[in-house]
Amino acid sequence: MKKLIITAIIGTGMMFQSCTKVDENVYDKYTADQFFADPKGADIALASVYARMPQFGGGDNGYYDTNNMCTDEQVVPHRVSGDWGPENAWLYTRAWTPALGQINTTWNACYNSIYLANLAVEQLEKANAPAAKLAEVKILRAWFYYLLIDDFGDVPFYTDNNVTTAQLKTQTRTQIFNWIVGEITANADLLPETKGGIFYGRFNKWAAYTFLAKMYLNAGVYTGTAKWAECLAACTKVASAGYTLHPGTANASSPLGNRYFELFGDTCPDDETILAIWLKRNVIGNNVLALRSVNGPNGVAMFGYSGWNGTIVPEETYNKYAANDVRIKQFLIGPQPGGVTYTPKVTSLINPGAGITEGVRGVKFYPVAPNDGSGSSNDFPIYRYADVLLMIAECHVRLGNAASAKPFIDQVRTRAGVGALSANPTLENIYDERGFELNWEGHRRQDMIRFGTFTLGHGLVPAVDAHWQLFPIPTAAMNANPNLKQNPGY
């Protein structure tokens, strides 16, 4: 398997692919238009934008935490030992403010990425670059806007970097939704159908249609108008590409003793993975998820490095898994290597905080070797075929045809070892299965909002009103741009 290795250097990028021969081109003799019209020059423009993606998967104190610590699947509590501040627990308990660092980091990450994408579009358009390259960066730019409207609702919108703060205008969530859908539908069929290889970690045609399906899946939230039939059509297009579920069979050499967990290792398998973020310890981002969860001695015994004793899985989430579910192997509970015993119940998140060994731990992204105490090189899946199957099932149920949904959810359940449903699926079945299958992969906040559970109380989390379904515009952004209007309730 070849990997696309991306390095950003001062606002531009260099894209390298493993090879055995290097042909030198003297690029400083080219004009800018000549350079970006050349396929290699176009790849460099694309690489500068793709270099931003690692911050959206498996990192610490940024987009991933903002969008996952507020769900029912994970939280980092303050510890009675004095470790960890209350910030992630504030996310979990719906107590964040516009000044919270993770929210500001999320906002900046999206807009920095959009700036680079706008620059790449301008460079490729001026150079009359290959249509597929221009289509790819346009869809990538749309993806960053999708992250913004999902988190913040109405946001400043621009596609030309030659704009001042005073000229920067906010557009509604619906307006930007329509623009994103237009960008995808205009460009998806221009993208290659190649899976894996140089398109590992890049938008191909099938990743673009999965992105489109996600837009339609959440259209009711974003615009007030549901688009289940359109979502189903986009998913059906992806299903025609020949993706399959990766095996869920026992294998002693696989992470956690099962091939299922190969999906979250150093390279996400091409049979099921549609789009992944490529991560490399101490080079391109880091996947900290497993190391951040386990206790220090437990981490030394299992991985060779001390764990951070941070993230826990809420007891009620762990308890929903069946004992024969392959996916339950991702959780650590009870006695563990290193003389550590994890107890499921957590009695306090902030004051005085959780005990040192309280809380179920998660090692879904079991660190690949070599690793160190800063993180690991596990890649992060953005879109998987299992997600597409569950989207198809949800659309069928919401369109009133639960019988048609059953084969799709049953594929996912059978791979997990829990078997087919005994009756046609309900929306509750779909919601639960998405939680079981996609745990820690960044989909739960969307799912909870779409299914109407996000504002409900659970565990140590109180019920809240609907304004918490959007994050506030960060204080720093409000100070920098007087044209911004704060989201209601903040």
pLDDT at res. 283: 85
Q: How far is CA 171 from the centre of its chain?
A: 24
pLDDT at res. 4: 32
**What's the mean pLDDT in 466-472?**
98
pLDDT at res. 18: 32
Of all residues in the chain, what percent carry a pLDDT higher than 90?
83
Q: H helices within 287-330, ranges in order?
A: 289-293, 296-303, 315-319
Least confident of 34-48, 81-95, 183-197, 221-235: 34-48
pLDDT at res. 135: 97
Q: Residue-wise over 2-22: b if at least 16 C-beta within 10 A, else e?
A: ebbbbebeeeebebeeeeeee
Give residue 165's pLDDT band: very low, low, confident or very high (50, 70, 90): confident
24: CB partners within 8 A, 6+ apart: none
3-class SS of residue 95: coil
Residue 215's CB is within 10 A of a number of other CB atoms, namely 25
pTM confidence score: 0.92
Residue that wins the pLDDT comparison between 489 and 35:
489
**What's the mean pLDDT in 13-34?**
43
Going from N- to C-terminal start, the domains of the chain cover 1-57+98-191, 208-256+385-464, 279-378
Least confident of 31-35, 203-207, 406-410, 421-425: 31-35
| Residue 369 structure tokens | 């070797």
- Mean residue pLDDT of the chain comes to 92
Whether 100 has a pLDDT exceeding 80, the answer reads: yes
pLDDT digits (tens, 9 = 90+) for 309-341: 999 999 999 999 999 999 999 999 999 999 999
Give residue 21's pLDDT band: very low, low, confident or very high (50, 70, 90): very low
Whether 98 has a pLDDT exceeding 60, the answer reads: yes
Please name which of 347, 367, 365, 363 lies closest in space to residue 355, comparing C-alpha atoms.
347
DSSP H/E element including 5: strand 4-9
Whether 36 has a pLDDT exceeding 90, the answer reads: no
DSSP class of residue 486 equals P
pLDDT at res. 363: 98
pLDDT at res. 15: 32
Q: Which amino acid is at 476?
A: A
**What's the mean pLDDT in 340-368?**
97
Between 1.25.40.890, 2.40.50.1070, 3.40.50.720, 1.20.1300.10, what CATH number should domain 1-57+98-191 receive?
1.25.40.890
pLDDT at res. 116: 96
Least confident of 68-72, 161-165, 183-187, 362-366: 161-165
pLDDT at res. 9: 27
pLDDT at res. 33: 64
pLDDT at res. 74: 97
Whether 1 has a pLDDT exceeding 50, the answer reads: no
Pairing mode of beta strands 170-171, 155-156: antiparallel
DSSP H/E element including 24: none
CATH class of 208-256+385-464: mainly alpha
Q: Which long-range contacts (CB under 8 A, 24 or more apart) does 456-463 make?
A: 458/72, 458/314, 458/316, 459/72, 459/314, 459/315, 459/316, 460/92, 460/93, 460/346, 460/348, 460/349, 461/72, 461/92, 461/93, 461/94, 462/93, 462/94
**What's the mean pLDDT in 91-105?**
97
Question: In whole angstroms, what is the distance from residue 340 CA to residue 264 CA?
Answer: 25
pLDDT digits (tens, 9 = 90+) for 412-464: 999 999 999 999 999 999 999 999 999 999 999 999 999 999 999 999 999 99
Whether 266 has a pLDDT exceeding 50, the answer reads: yes
pLDDT at res. 31: 57
| Residue 30 structure tokens | 């080219």
Question: In whole angstroms, what is the distance from residue 128 CA to residue 119 CA?
Answer: 14
pLDDT at res. 479: 94
Least confident of 4-18, 79-93, 391-405, 440-454: 4-18
pLDDT at res. 243: 98
pLDDT at res. 370: 86
Q: What are phi and psi of 415, to 5 degrees?
A: -60, -35
The reply to whether 208-256+385-464 shares the fold of 1-57+98-191 is yes
For the chain, the C-alpha Rg in angstroms (whole number) is 22
Q: H helices within 153-202, ranges in order?
A: 173-187
